[in-house]
Copies of this chain bind each other. A is one copy, B any other.
């Protein structure tokens, strides 16, 4: 809301994406009013545009989950330290990031409470009370909540001390069923990323090095940002019986013996909002995919007098009624049109309608796409048909553009030397055969800073690009957030 216009009356410049990507990102997030730093170190304030994107992701994802039988619960945010300590690998992974409540109601607590970094330990402890027989399974829980990880280097949306996410936790009779669940939820995330956010992703398994603390294996979706770096956008974990065993969760099976259920967890966070900024934005600011844009169409009326304004208002009234299914904002502020165009471009509104007295005389308006600034005159009576069609075409074009970008930034290589040379001058995804030895990951990380992102679901061929031994996997490498 603070006025940051430059001399020409435009909203102040943001740094150039091609010159200073992190600076560009921070400027866009703050100036487009998605989010801001807060007075608390490492915590952010999500402003209405940023939260609005999250709300739409939430709604879409929640609908997908419910279609698969998931039910929402809410579990306590405070976890006794002793709970967390029951699963060794898990606590070691998260302990350095604990935020601890040691005082409550004016007294020192006997046992500190940890602000949940994730809720596997709490949920296993609670569901022990509800799972007794194979008839109680599966239990498919999800919760929408805040989690806390004491991060030292933070970046808006991408890494903050507190963030919002959903965490699903499920319990199953068999490993097969749990593993199918892991894949099903990963597919939900792919749908959100690709079909809603127009960001193509690679889906696959994480390496042993990169998996979640306490998981038997982890799967993830990874997208590419405009700087060629990878971003993990959603993860889905198979725990086998690890957590059930650690938390003494048992059920009586079909043949009457006591067993530990198999469990999974999966999460997607407000980081998704950052991915939308970085996958689609340009030097003018955000570009929001129509399906998740809080405002899909902004109307900028152009008038010099109250009489002209009244004429435009009258002409727009039936148009607005005909666009009832579209998320429309009309900008009647007393500002120059150029200022408004600039602001709504910065905020990434996919489609802009301009209408002034001359348009009105012709019974038309102009539609301008944020994507490519293509301008098209449309008869007022045609808008009801044209606007949804253009939004649909923008959604498709954004995914296509992102796919082309990824294609242009993905190479298949077969030797360490090629990888080193590649990452010296460029970013993007590198696909190679790999032996799955962590030593090879370490070598590549040391020489390029790139890490394995996901193991693709395709047959391993040839020899490991790093060590030359027979490959057992086809893996995607990238410098990553």
Contacts and interface: CB of A to CB of B under 8 A. Distances in A.
Given A39-B80, A51-B72, A101-B99, A1 B46 contact: no
A136 B76 contact: no
Interface stretch (A105-113, A299-307, A420-428): A105-113
Contact of A103 (B36, B47, B112): B112
A266 interface: no
A481 interface: no
A78 B113 contact: no
Contacts of A161: 78, 104
Interface string A162-181: 10100000000000000000
A403 interface: no
Interface string A95-124: 111111111111000001101000000100
Contacts of A45: 73-76, 126
Given A1-B131, A101-B115, A102-B102, A73 B96 contact: no
B96 A105 contact: yes
Given A39-B126, A47-B73, A102-B103, A162 B83 contact: no
A339 interface: no
Interface stretch (A145-153, A235-243, A276-284, A316-324): A145-153
A106 B96 contact: yes
Interface in A8-67: 36, 38-40, 43-48, 51-52, 54-55
Nearest to A33: B130
A69 to B, nearest CB: 11
A95 B133 CA distance: 45
B136 A78 contact: no
A466 to B, nearest CB: 34
A2 interface: yes
A100 B96 contact: no
Contacts of A36: 126, 129
Interface residues on A, range: 35 or more
A313 interface: no
Contacts of A130: 1-2
Contacts of A75: 38, 45
A96 B77 CA distance: 20
Interface in A455-472: none
A206 to B, nearest CB: 25
Of the candidates A80, A104, A136, A146, the one having the most CB atoms from chain B within 10 angstroms of its own CB is: A104
Contact of A77 (B47, B102, B146): B146
Nearest to A55: B72
Of the candidates A52, A76, A77, A150, the one having the most CB atoms from chain B within 10 angstroms of its own CB is: A76
A97 B152 CA distance: 29
Given A2-B129, A2-B130, A51 B73 contact: yes
B102 A162 contact: no
A105 B150 contact: yes
B106 A99 contact: no
A125 interface: yes
Interface in A206-243: none
Contacts of A97: 105
B104 A1 contact: no
A79 interface: yes
A101 to B, nearest CB: 5
A126 B97 CA distance: 25
Contacts of A46: 73-74
A1 B74 contact: no
Interface string A73-94: 1111111100100000000000
Given A78-B161, A115-B115, 9 more contacts: A1-B130, A38-B76, A39-B125, A48-B71, A51-B74, A77-B146, A78-B99, A98-B103, A101-B102
Task: Please provide the 4 A-B residue pairs with the shortest distance between their CB atoms, ordered closest to farther.
Answer: A105-B150, A43-B76, A48-B71, A46-B74
